[in-house]
Structure 1
Amino acid sequence: MARQTLPLNDTLYDYLLTVSLREPEVLRLLRAETARHPRAEMQIAPEQGQFMALLARLIGARRALEIGVFTGYSALWVALALPPDGQLIACEVNEAYTAVARRYWEAAGVADRIALRLGPALKTLEALLAEGAAGTFDLVFIDADKETYDAYYERALELVRPGGLILLDNLLMGGRVADPSNREPSVEAIRRLNEKLCRDLRVDYALLPLADGLGLARRR
């Protein structure tokens, strides 16, 4: 039995996907199109999307929030996991990215579940709080500019209900967070946030070595 997480080489990773991935065709097509995008590295892994959808179903999520949409792959996984009357509010600043997302949301038949808010995400979150949305979300996914993660997290804590989940992507930053000599602003921001999350008693917390590191914070 392994005492630490098993490293994945390409052969083992392909096997993992073969025996576990249940990716609807519309998601497979979106992932394939995104793979040709100049910023394809911003795409989450398919097994992560499937895991997020499972989490949404496990907690009975009806109202979700995504900060950072890109081409809409993660949003589509979550939207498909919501009930027909569920809603995902998706925050993004780049209209060109979301033009791709909209096509696939329509093709999947869930465009009516996704409310896209174009503009700086912090302003959107502040507007939601001003509208009285505190404590009304079941699930929040943060996958945007790393230097603002802490601010997103604090707003998410206000917006999510007790027992709700906040998911934070890229917390391992390709391994760069473990290199103390790396002083990139984005890396330092995530390094500080990782230390904060570990000791934040407002939440139950785990950091999984899934894809580029996925943090799970359950609001107490």
Structure 2
Amino acid sequence: MKQGEASHLYRTPETGNKVLEYAYSHSTALPPTLTQYHSSAVANREDSEMLSSNAQSQLHGFLARAIGAKKVLEVGVYVGYSAMAWAYAVGPGGKVTGLESDEGFAAIARGAFEERGLGNVEVVVGNAAETLPKLNPSEPYDIVFLDADKPGYIGYLETLLGKSLPGSSSRLLRPGALIIADNVLRSGHVADDSIPFDDSWSEQGWKSHVDSIRAFNDRCVAEPRLETFMLPLWDGVSLLRLRD
């Protein structure tokens, strides 16, 4: 397949959707309690578009197990679905720490964790720009998942890099750790200025988000300490590997 032909890979959108469903069904399944929670949130929450998809969580679990991850940091917890997926991926011997600015979301997430007997997840409430620099884990994180306010992404990245310096005895990320950033294509707007904005935000709000993500994407690919691969799936997912 030539570069740029991805959008024409299948003859019709219907075939493309069937292929995606086929691929998901032939990937290692998520725990039923997790997919049931996802279905419930979609059915009962008007803001459920903030959820990661089950398919993306399948990818997250695969990556966590592939690198033997035991410690995961999530920036932006929402109602706890993705943190729950990480918790299942790292297992009872692992630990997931989530940073969430909204106390209401944090309470819902904690309730969901408790209901499912997940004792390996914690939620820290507060502005991540303030709580992230204060973290001092006993062992560095293997994976960080960024899924919070998009204008904050660059600041979070700078904190993660600045507190994971080569040779440092105390660091947030281990050498070879993964940073996974969600929503890095913003419905395609970062790549195509001709796409009209929908009415979910004001035009100014959209432009702010798009400009922030473009700056983040440019920063990632220019950073010599990061190996970067952007997946043009879902709303865009960047996989960043920290190299010392």
TM over 0.5: yes
- Structure number with bigger Rg: 2
Once superposed, what is the RMSD of the aligned Cα atoms? Answer: 2.1
What CA distance in whole angstroms lies between the structure 2 residues aligned with 1:104 and 1:210? 28
Q: Of 208, 211, 227, which residue of structure 2 is paired with 1:188?
A: 211
Deviation at 1:134, TM superposition (A): 9.0
Higher RCO by CA contacts (8 Å cutoff, separation 6 or greater):
1
1:25 lines up with 2:32 in the alignment: yes
Q: Does 1:101 align with 2:109?
A: yes
Equivalent positions of 1:1-220 (< 5 A) are: 4-5=5-6, 6=9, 9-20=16-27, 22-35=29-42, 36-110=44-118, 112-128=119-135, 131=136, 133=137, 136-157=140-161, 158=163, 159-180=172-193, 184-220=207-243
With normalisation by structure 2, the TM-score equals 0.81
Amino acid aligned to 1:121? A
The Cα of 1:33 is off from its aligned counterpart by 1.8
C-alpha deviation, 1:135, in angstroms:
7.3
The TM-score normalised by the length of structure 1 is: 0.89
Measured after TM superposition, the shift of residue 145 of structure 1 is 0.4
Q: Give the Cα separation in 1 of the matches to 2:2 and 2:18.
A: 18
Which consecutive residues of structure 2, in runs of 5 or more, have no partner in the other structure? 164-171, 198-203
Give the distance between the partners of 1:38 and 1:135, measured in 2 at CA: 38
User: What letter matches 1:79 in structure 2?
Assistant: A
**Alignment partners' CA distance in 2, 1:84 and 1:45:** 23
Structure 1 unaligned blocks of 5 or more: none
String of CA shifts for 1:133-167, please: whole Å, max 9, x gaps.
49711110000000011001122233211111100
Instruction: State whether residues 72 and 144 of structure 2, in contact with CA within 8 Å, keep that contact through their aligned partners in structure 1.
Output: yes
Percent identity over the alignment? 36
Aligned residues: 216
SS at match of 2:26: helix
Give the deviation of 1:194 after TM superposition.
1.1
